[in-house]
Amino acid sequence: MSGEASGTRTALQYGPVGDRAVEGPFTTRQLSRLDEALTLSSRETGILFSVYVGEFAQPTRAHAEALFEKLDDNSVLLAISPGQRVLHIVTGPKSAERLPNRACALAALSMRSSFSNGDLVGGIVAGLRLLSDASGRPST
């Protein structure tokens, strides 16, 4: 993919689109693991976690932050580009209060070690778990 952020799938949609389990990078089992981890961590913390897997335009950090602008203040984006071997965790104004950069760096470290072993979904699940543990329960 080469283009700005709007060139990617702009319509965020819950669940698989089309026959993703066959055409996409993840198997059905991996997709259900991913869905469970996303749903559980979002429910526990009240923070909207989302995962983007795909190519970044250069510079990669700016692209990840441009993607994040589609979300809201209380959300966290885990953006991963397996082809470029880059990952970015982006927090917003409200989610950053509960998730300091140090906690994000720890999750990024854990994800990196899984990714370098080729375990994409395992890394994402581990990162989500660390992030949701670090952010704790919603205060309200």
Partner 1 sequence: MPVWETLLVFVGIPLGVVAVLALAVYGRAMVHQPNRYRPGRPWTYEPSWFLPHPEAVPATASSTQAAISGSTTTTAVGGASGEW
Interface positions, 10-49, toward partner 1 (CB under 8 A): 10-14, 17, 20, 23-29, 34-35, 38-43, 46-49
CB of 41 to partner 1, least distance (A): 8
Give the residue among 104, 102, 96 at the shortest CA–CA distance from 131: 104
CB of 104 to partner 1, least distance (A): 4
Question: Residue 98: in which H helix or E strand, if any?
Answer: helix 95-98
N-terminal to C-terminal alpha carbon distance within the chain: 41
The pair of three-digit structure tokens given for residue 116, joined into one six-digit string: 């370098």
Contact between 133 and partner 1 by CB under 8 A: the answer reads no
State which of positions 78-97 bind partner 1 (CB under 8 A).
81-93, 95-96
Judged by CB under 8 A, the number of residues near partner 1 is 83
The SS3 assignment for 140 reads coil
Contact between 126 and partner 1 by CB under 8 A: the answer reads no
The pair of three-digit structure tokens given for residue 3, joined into one six-digit string: 């283009």
The SS3 assignment for 26 reads coil
Contact between 132 and partner 1 by CB under 8 A: the answer reads no
How many Å apart are CA 89 and CA 67, to the nearest integer? Answer: 11
Contact between 69 and partner 1 by CB under 8 A: the answer reads yes
State which of positions 100-119 bind partner 1 (CB under 8 A).
100-101, 104-105, 107-109, 111-113, 115-119
Contact between 137 and partner 1 by CB under 8 A: the answer reads no
